[in-house]
Amino acid sequence: MNIEPKSPTNKGSADWFTGDVWVDPIAAPRDGDQRMIVGRVRFAPGSRTAWHAHGRGQTLHVTEGIALLGTRDGTVIRATPGQTIYTPPGEEHWHGAAPEDFTEHLAMLETSNGADAEDGWFEHVTDEDYRAAAGG
């Protein structure tokens, strides 16, 4: 057992995020059939992911601020620190900060293994759709 070296904080790619988002890798597979990926994600107010889906689902645990999450059927979840949100495999969704708060969550998922478990990334969440999710 060992204390892991701190991984650099990475700026979220503009291909996958709108606004300023920073990701700290916490855990990643290193050998054998390990699959666990954990990251700390920090969102500036109003920032969010693009639409996407995870081949093996995703668990998000809010640690700071107010998180907004949306799915294609129009469902919007507003989550606060201590709350955990589960997204099943393949469900298209986005997540990010409320307009008025920095927000942080832990993102926990498994690596894909085969085409049917690949993550998919789609279009950005428009300002109009984001404002609607945030309550106008």
Give the binding site for Mn ion (CB under 5 A).
58
Least Å distance, CB 74 to Mn ion, is 17
Q: Which is nearer to Mn ion, 47 or 58 (CB)?
A: 58
Q: Which is nearer to Mn ion, 18 or 58 (CB)?
A: 58
Least Å distance, CB 29 to Mn ion, is 18
Q: Which is nearer to Mn ion, 5 or 12 (CB)?
A: 12
End-to-end CA distance of the chain: 49
Least Å distance, CB 2 to Mn ion, is 30
Which of 26, 23, 58 lies closest to 43, judged by CA? 23
Query: How far apart, in whole angstroms, are the C-alpha atoms of residue 46 and residue 121?
Result: 19
CA dihedral (92, 93, 94, 99) in degrees, to 10, reads 150
